[in-house]
Amino acid sequence: MIFIPVFGPALIFYVLDYLTLIIIIPGFLFALWAQYRVKSSFAKYSKIPNARGITGAEAARKILSQANVYGVSVIPCRGNLTDNFNPKTGTINLSENVFGTPSVAAVGIAAHETGHAIQKAKNYFPMKIRSILVPVTKIGSYAALPLALIGIVIEWLAEASGNFGTALIALGIFLYSLSAVFALITLPVELNASKRARRMLLSTGILTAEETKRAGKVLSAAALTYVAGLTVSLLYLLRFIIIILSLRRNRR
């Protein structure tokens, strides 16, 4: 599943100032370029059928069988590049142009999502950490700004309560930083899934060595979107810290 972060609620009132443009826009452009790369790579290798005529769904099921992973369903889902593995339902959801398509790109994407299913079955530690961070990150993104602003107001109203206000500001920054931590944990999870995919495609004979190399180009382009996601998350965190510190300084 391709992930590119969008403007978070903590920055909604600040996206138009010059500092935001300087900090955020380069990262956002990098994310757009990464998205273009994965779409163009997928489009290119979607036109190349694999020698064995194996569809994405067939490849996923064969890899699961070879890895002795059971209880995982492979089902179609709507959309383009909406492929994902849902650890809660134990389903590999493949988009329409992957599920029933015997292309090199389709098999590569299906193998990648199957890699996530294998990670869960093998208790891959980074994936477990990412699953734990999902709800915490959602809560943190909404609670960070209010907590930091309350801390600033407390510092402003009562100097004696300044330590408590400072603690709230620090907590707000910490909560907002969880989105960057989530992106950081996501990167090795995705890279590992792609590594597993390449290895299984070769070992099972689903793709030839040359076809695996081509599928790998699609997966490498997809991995770039996660690098972009981490970059943008770090830039958002930097901007959030600058905003909070600026507000704090103006209140004093």
Distance CA(248)–CA(145), nearest Å, equals: 12
103 DSSP β-pair partners: 49
210 is catalytic: no
Cβ atoms 240, 32 nearer than 8 A: no
Write the DSSP symbol of residue 48.
S
- Closest-CA residue to 6 (of 173, 233, 238, 188): 233
Which residue of the set 113, 155, 190, 211 is catalytic? 113
Cβ atoms 63, 111 nearer than 8 A: yes
DSSP character string of 162-227: HHHHHHHHHHHHHHHHHHHHHHHHHHHHHHHHHHHHHHHHHHTTSS-HHHHHHHHHHHHHHHHHHH
Give the tokens for residue 175: 């909560």
Catalytic residue positions?
113
